């Protein structure tokens, strides 16, 4: 008997500024056993140098995954909790498979999916639907045959939502995508950076070679305080911990990301432009996850006072985000000046608080 409905475990992701983060944290944070790994990681961040001048990538501030670039799904491929496979879209032309049946088969095998769609065909993208052909990554985690819908997650309305998309809409969208990615499309060069594959993911320990070693398992899957201390020092670029982050002329790392945001605001003031709110939103998510990390390990350490102070910092950043949206709207230099003052203030406060966290954990 076929399944009429199946929904894989997800929660609303606390970190969701970009589709890949929304998908990742939807899956991992739905499982208590994954949280120690989450909170032992995602401490270092990066931004593009001269972020204000990076065209379509002016929103790029993200967690740091590897030394050789970004936008390669490294956070999924190198994740010890995720078993991942991919299939190029062009295979659908070769095997003449029905995308709806394929997705449902994956879900029935406990596989989440993450792939590109054309937002033009999907009503959940209210600002784009039936207006523009734009590509975006969608996260699929369930289906319902009675309703003929898939359950999806993405930044559909300017913020992350769990929503629904019909079988017909997914079919139309992926058919359009096959044409967009086709060899005869003169605009195909515009999409060379995209993965052009369907990613299928299940949650489970993906460490067959070393998974039975109790020391390895403890290092990776339990809360790793020594790693947290090391990564905090790298984020703060303290002394010798900064050496590994001085090689790049393209990226900046850790606490120096504040400087890129300050440059962005000054550029907006000088040119009467706006700043990319995505960069600030992602930066604030780093602070939110840091607060969740402190709360998670608080049972073994006396962090109550530090949590209170860091919570105030997060609240300050939330207010700052409102100011940024307002300044983008009215382009008032007095607002930009206030934002600059606050960013400098928050940078110094975070340095103090994270050094105190290192002291307590050491």
**148-179 tens-digit pLDDT:** 999 999 999 889 999 999 999 999 998 888 77
Query: Are residues 64 and 325 in contact, defined by beta-carbon separation less than 8 angstroms?
Result: no
The distance from CA 157 to its chain's CA centroid, rounded to whole angstroms, is 16
Taking the C-alpha atoms of residue 264 and residue 267, their distance in angstroms, rounded to an integer, is 5
DSSP 97-113: --HHHHHHHHHHTT-EE
Q: 181: closest CA among 126, 115, 249? A: 115
Task: Summarize the confidence of residues 1-26 as an average pLDDT.
Answer: 91
C-alpha dihedral, 238 to 239 to 241 to 245, nearest 10°:
90
Domain ranges of the chain: 5-30+82-203, 217-361
Question: How many other CB atoms sit within 10 Å of the CB of residue 54?
Answer: 18
The rounded mean pLDDT for the chain is 90
Higher-scoring residue by pLDDT: 112, 178: 112
The pTM is what?
Answer: 0.92
- Count of CB atoms situated within 10 Å of the CB of 143: 25
Q: Return the ∠ at Cα 357 (arms to 219 and 239), rounded to 5°.
A: 85
* Beta strand spans in 148-221 (E): 149-155, 160-166, 197-203
Beta partners for 133? none
Distance CA 143, CA 164 (A): 9
Q: Which residues of 70-103 are buried (b: 16+ CB within 10 A; e: fewer)?
A: beebbbbeebbbbbbebbebeebeeeeeebbebb
Question: Tens digit of pLDDT for each residue in 315-352?
Answer: 999 999 999 999 999 988 999 999 999 999 999 999 99
Terminal Cα distance for the chain, rounded: 56
Rama region for 313: left / alpha / beta (φ>0; ψ in -120 to 50; rest): alpha
Q: Radius of gyration (Cα) for the chain, nearest Å?
A: 22
Q: Is the per-residue pLDDT at 209 higher than 60?
A: no
In the prediction, which pLDDT does 89 show? 78
Q: Are strands 45-48 and 61-63 parallel, antiparallel or unpaired?
A: antiparallel
Mean pLDDT calculated for residue range 291-311: 97
Residues 6 or more apart in contact with residue 13 via CB below 8 angstroms: 21, 22, 23, 24, 25, 26, 29, 153, 160
What pLDDT shows up at residue 189?
A: 44
The maximal CA–CA distance of the chain, rounded, in angstroms, is 65
Axis-axis angle for helices 257-271, 277-297 (nearest 10) = 150
Residue 207 has a pLDDT of 66
């Amino acid at each position: 008997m076929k399944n009429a409905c199946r929904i894989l475990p997800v929660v609303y992701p606390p970190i969701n500024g970009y589709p890949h983060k929304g998908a990742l944290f939807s899956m991992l944070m739905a499982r208590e056993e994954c949280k120690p790994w989450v909170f032992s990681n995602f401490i270092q961040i990066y931004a593009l140098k001269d972020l204000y001048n990076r065209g379509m990538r002016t929103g790029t501030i993200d967690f740091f995954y590897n030394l050789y670039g970004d936008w390669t799904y490294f956070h999924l491929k190198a994740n010890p909790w995720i078993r991942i496979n991919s299939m190029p879209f062009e295979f659908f032309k070769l095997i003449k498979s029905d995308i709806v049946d394929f997705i449902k088969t994956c879900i029935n095998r406990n596989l989440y999916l993450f792939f590109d769609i054309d937002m033009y065909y999907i009503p959940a993208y209210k600002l784009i639907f039936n207006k523009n052909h734009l590509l975006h990554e969608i996260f699929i985690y369930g289906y319902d045959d009675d309703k003929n819908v898939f359950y999806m997650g993405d930044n559909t309305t300017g913020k992350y939502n769990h929503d629904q998309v019909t079988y017909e809409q997914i079919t139309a969208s992926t058919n359009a995508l096959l044409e967009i990615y086709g060899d005869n499309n003169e605009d195909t060069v515009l999409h060379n950076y995209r993965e052009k594959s369907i990613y299928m993911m299940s949650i489970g320990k993906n460490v067959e070679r070393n998974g039975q070693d109790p020391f390895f398992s403890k290092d990776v899957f339990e809360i790793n305080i020594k790693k947290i201390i090391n990564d905090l020092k790298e984020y703060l670029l303290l002394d010798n911990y900064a050496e590994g982050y001085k090689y790049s002329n393209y990226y900046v790392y850790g606490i120096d990301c504040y400087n890129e945001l300050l440059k962005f605001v000054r550029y907006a003031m000088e040119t009467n432009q706006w700043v990319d709110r995505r960069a600030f939103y992602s930066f604030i998510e780093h602070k939110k996850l840091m607060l969740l990390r402190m709360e998670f390990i608080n049972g073994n350490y006396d962090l109550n006072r530090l949590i209170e102070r860091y919570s105030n910092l997060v609240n300050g950043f939330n207010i700052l985000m409102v100011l940024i949206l307002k300044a983008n709207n009215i382009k008032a230099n007095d607002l930009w000046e206030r934002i600059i003052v606050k960013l400098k203030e928050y940078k110094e406060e975070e340095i103090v608080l994270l050094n105190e966290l290192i002291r307590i954990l050491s």
